[in-house]
Amino acid sequence: MRRLPIYFLIDVSESMVGEPIKQVEDGMRTIIQELRTDPYALETVFVSVIAFAGRAKSLSPLTELYKFYPPKFPIGGGTALGAALNYLMDDMERSVQKTTLEVKGDWKPIVFLFTDGTPTDDPTSAIEKWQRRYKTKCNMVCISIGDNADTNLLGKLSENVLRLNGTDEYSFKAFFKWVTASIKTSSVSVSDMGVDELKLAPLNGISLEKVDTERRSVVDENFVVLHGRCSNTRNRYLIKFAKRVGASDFLPNFSVLKYRLVGAYPIEEASFESLSDGLSNRNINTNDLMGVPTCPCCGNQYGLVVCECGNIMCSDGRTCSCPWCGMEGTLGDIQDGGMDITRGRG
Ligand SMILES: [Zn+2]
Ligand SMILES: [Zn+2]
């Protein structure tokens, strides 16, 4: 049997924390449920999921539909697109059956790459390798989640670069329907006609648009993600802020850049570390941040208290001891709105 391998290469960098990663998780589940009811897909489609942040890792090897179990997505620090592409190419080398004189190999793999940011590594050599050896042997679809990805760069990987403009639940749901429909039509096309080409479903009715990759993309950071540690449970959590341009308090005709609280989310430390590149973070001034979360681990009222050591912890508003450096203090002494604190990257 000739398989139709479908790869999902999914950015799980810090900015994906919260709603986007939940939507991707739900979306993957929907895709699999839907495809399982389709006789063509059931016969040909095999699915593989690779997650990448500062490093890449497989969440599920190439698996037939009825055995596939939708994975839980981790979060990591960084967006190593180069490492992700190398990981994908190595996996294809091992897992995809090539056509030889004796056997007809697998159909051309379809790769769905989802990313919401710009690479934090140098992907040049991985992109060259992709162009030289894989681009014509695969059908890749690159999807920029929001307007933060470098679509010029994605244009080097594929002719199919699309942007998902809405990142609300409705847009994600429609988007995953589209992915499912595209996989279905492609599996019909290989099964019935033996035609090895990508059949993308029509884009009408969803906030997905084809991107002109020749046009220079101006990439700006939309999110700030800070790292906290709960002073009660010692668990790690991420605090996400979204960029908002607002009027200045002092000069009403001037706009200022502020970051508005989106939410705080517990993360699993070991899986976070295993997907992070460990590079140092940049700084942001807490004066630019609007809103303070409660601690997502223990419910403490103040989830963004900055210690003298520069790290963030939670506090009940009275005394606390820093879970990062051990320093004991009262909130008044350690809270300083103007202090520079370390922050995560896209
Ligand atoms: Zn806490
Ligand atoms: Zn400290």
345 confidence band (pLDDT: 50, 70, 90): low
pLDDT tens, residue by residue, 234-253: 999 999 999 877 666 666 66
How far does the centroid of ligand 1 lie from the alpha carbon of residue 316, in Å?
8
* Overall average pLDDT of the 92-103 stretch: 91
User: Do 21 and 116 meet the contact criterion of CB atoms below 8 Å apart?
Assistant: no
Residue 125: CB partners within 8 Å, gap ≥ 6? Answer: 82
pLDDT at 337: 45
CA angle 160, 219, 263 (to 5 degrees): 100
How far does the centroid of ligand 1 lie from the alpha carbon of residue 24, in Å?
27
User: Do 221 and 346 meet the contact criterion of CB atoms below 8 Å apart?
Assistant: yes
How far does the centroid of ligand 2 lie from the alpha carbon of residue 328, in Å?
8
pLDDT at 193: 78
Query: Which-ligand-closest: CA of 236?
Result: 1
Average pLDDT, the chain: 88
Closest residue by Cα to residue 186 from 48, 88, 70, 40: 40
What the block records as the tokens of 113 is 């790459």
Query: Which-ligand-closest: CA of 235?
Result: 1
* Residue owning tokens 């589209």: 178
Q: Which residues surround ligand 1, an ion (CB under 5 A)?
A: 230, 232, 295, 297-298, 300, 314
* Overall average pLDDT of the 288-304 stretch: 91
Predicted confidence (pLDDT) at residue 310 exceeds the cutoff of 50: yes
CA dihedral 66, 32, 62, 51 (to 10 degrees): -150
Residue 99: CB atoms within 10 A of its CB come to 11
Q: Where are the alpha helices (DSSP H) in 3-59?
A: 19-36, 39-44
- Share of residues in the chain with pLDDT > 70 (%): 90
How far does the centroid of ligand 1 lie from the alpha carbon of residue 329, in Å?
16
pLDDT tens, residue by residue, 2-49: 899 999 999 999 999 999 999 999 999 999 999 999 999 999 999 999
What the block records as the tokens of 66 is 């009825």
pLDDT at 247: 63
Predicted confidence (pLDDT) at residue 340 exceeds the cutoff of 60: no
pLDDT at 338: 44
State the pairing for strand pair 312-315/223-229: parallel
Q: Which CATH number describes the domain made up of 4-210?
A: 3.40.50.410
Rounded Cα distance, 182 and 201, in Å:
5
Query: Which-ligand-closest: CA of 298?
Result: 1
pLDDT tens, residue by residue, 60-78: 999 999 999 999 999 999 9
Predicted confidence (pLDDT) at residue 128 exceeds the cutoff of 60: yes
Predicted confidence (pLDDT) at residue 336 exceeds the cutoff of 60: no
pLDDT at 333: 52
User: Do 306 and 331 meet the contact criterion of CB atoms below 8 Å apart?
Assistant: no
* Overall average pLDDT of the 322-333 stretch: 81
pLDDT at 89: 98
pLDDT tens, residue by residue, 129-149: 999 999 999 999 999 998 888
pLDDT at 39: 92
Task: Please state the domain extents for the chain.
Answer: 4-210, 223-344
* Overall average pLDDT of the 275-297 stretch: 80
How far does the centroid of ligand 2 lie from the alpha carbon of residue 329, in Å?
10
* Overall average pLDDT of the 68-89 stretch: 95
* Overall average pLDDT of the 168-173 stretch: 90
pLDDT tens, residue by residue, 179-226: 999 999 999 888 787 777 788 998 887 888 898 888 776 666 788 899
Rounded Cα distance, 346 and 148, in Å:
9
- Share of residues in the chain with pLDDT > 90 (%): 59
3 state DSSP class of 114: strand
Rounded Cα distance, 52 and 31, in Å:
20
Residue 222: CB atoms within 10 A of its CB come to 18
Stronger pLDDT, 228 or 99, i.e. the higher one: 228
Query: Which-ligand-closest: CA of 328?
Result: 2
Rounded Cα distance, 277 and 266, in Å:
19
**3-state DSSP of 274-305:** HCCCCCCCCEEEHHHEECCCCCCCCCCCEEEE
Predicted confidence (pLDDT) at residue 82 exceeds the cutoff of 50: yes
Specify the DSSP class assigned to residue 13: B
